[in-house]
Amino acid sequence: MINKHSVDDLTQAEIIYLLRNRLRSRYGNQERLKKYRQTGRAITLSCDLRNENDSSLFPSIETAPQSLSKNLSHLSGFHIANKALRYFEIANVVGLLVLFGYIGNALFNLNHQSTTSWILPTLTPMPIIQEFVLPEGHTPPNSPGGAGPNTEEIPPHLRPLVNTFASIPMPTAAPNQGIRIQIPALNIDAPIIQGDGWEQLKKGVAQHIGTANPGEKGNMVLSGHNDVFGEVFRYLDRLKAGDEIIVFSYDRSFTYVVEGWTLVEPDQVEVMKPTVNETLTLISCYPYLVDKQRIIVKARLK
The model's pLDDT over 178-226, given as tens digits with 9 standing for 90+, comes to: 999 999 999 999 999 998 888 899 999 999 988 999 999 999 999 999 9
pLDDT at position 252, please? Answer: 93
Bond preceding residue 125 cis, omega within 30 of 0: no
Query: Is the predicted pLDDT of residue 66 greater than 70, yes or no?
Result: no
Superfamily of domain 143-157+175-301: Sortase (2.40.260.10)
- Tell me the pLDDT band of 93, cut-offs 50, 70 and 90: confident
Write the pLDDT tens digit of every residue in 169-181.
666 778 899 999 9
- Is pLDDT of 285 > 60? yes
- pLDDT score of 130: 54
**Is the confidence at residue 25, as pLDDT, over 70?**
no
Give the rounded percent of residues in the chain with a pLDDT score beyond 70. 67
> Would the pLDDT of 235 be above 80?
yes
Q: What is the mean pLDDT of residues 16-20?
A: 71
pLDDT surpassing 60 at residue 42? no
If one compares 270 and 76, the residue with the highest pLDDT of the two is 270
Q: Are strands 148-149 and 138-139 parallel, antiparallel or unpaired?
A: antiparallel
Q: What is the pLDDT of residue 61?
A: 45
**Within the chain, which residue ranges are assigned CATH 2.40.260.10?**
143-157+175-301
Q: How far apart are CA 129 and CA 165, in angstroms?
A: 11
Q: Give the whole-angstrom CA distance, residue 251 versus residue 178.
A: 10
pLDDT of residue 85: 83
State residue 70's pLDDT score: 55
